[in-house]
Amino acid sequence: MTRITTLYVYFLLATCTLLSSCDTLDKLTQFELKYTSNVTIPATVPIASPFEIFTPEIKSDSESQMSINNTKKDLVEEIYLKSMTLTIKSPEGEDFSFLESLAVTISAEGLEEQQIAFKDNIGENVSDVIEMEVEKINLREYILKDEFKLKVTTVTDELNSKSYDIEIFTKYHVNAEILGI
């Protein structure tokens, strides 16, 4: 009976060690991709009406990013948007209080447009930086394309007499297979 108990304890220890090693290996195949793009919200955008603004196409450069992180495109299991930050670059000293809401979608050749981030009820007490609420959607197919595009849909709550240059900073979490298994 003691021998069976001892074997059982060794089995449990080996299992725990193996599982923690797998977690360590799994962390080695997880990394972040970061992209920056820019949009301009023009002056005189209609009040309380959705207005769409497209970013220039974003080169994903996914082949070299995968190589840098010791993986390949075909080993990537999932890519999720981790965070999105919008920052007013000009005019200086302005904030996002002229907006009621924002929504951001992603598109790529051959794929349907998907909403990936939003911010509702922006209000009056905001700064020149907005942290968007992100959707939990696997964006693997979009980010692994050679190029993808973001579209910003804004709804203003006041007359906009200035053009706003806005930087969009996105951070994506990538999870690849361990050693191709």
CA-angle at 157, arms to 154 and 162, nearest 5°: 75
pLDDT score recorded for residue 112: 95
Number of domains observed in the structure of the chain:
1
Phi and psi for 88 in degrees, rounded to 5? -75, 120
Asked if residue 2 belongs to a domain, the reply is no
Tell me, yes or no, whether 40 lies in a domain: yes
Residue 13 placed within a domain: no
Q: Please give the Cα distance from 158 to 86 (Å, whole number).
A: 19
> How does strand 76-90 pair with strand 129-131?
antiparallel
Could you tell me if residue 84 is inside a domain?
A: yes
What DSSP string describes 25-90?
HHHHTEEEEEEEEEEEE-TTPPBTS-EEEEPPPEE--HHHHHHHTT--GGGEEEEEEEEEEEEEEE
- Contact (CB, 8 A) for 168 and 41: no
Per-residue pLDDT at 43: 83
The answer to whether residue 140 is domain-embedded is yes
Q: Cα–Cα distance between 38 and 170 in angstroms, integer?
A: 11
The pTM assigned to this predicted structure is 0.80
CATH of the domain at 132: 2.60.120
* 90 within some domain: yes
pLDDT tens-digit profile of 51-108?
777 777 888 887 888 888 888 888 899 999 999 999 999 999 999 998 899 999 999 9
20 found inside a domain: no
Is the pLDDT at 180 greater than 90, yes or no? no
CA-CA distance, 178 to 65, in Å (whole number)? 17
Specify the DSSP element, H or E, that contains 134: strand 133-134
Cα 145 to Cα 149: distance, rounded to the nearest angstrom: 11
- For residue 92, the enclosing domain spans 30-176
Q: Is 4 within the bounds of a domain?
A: no
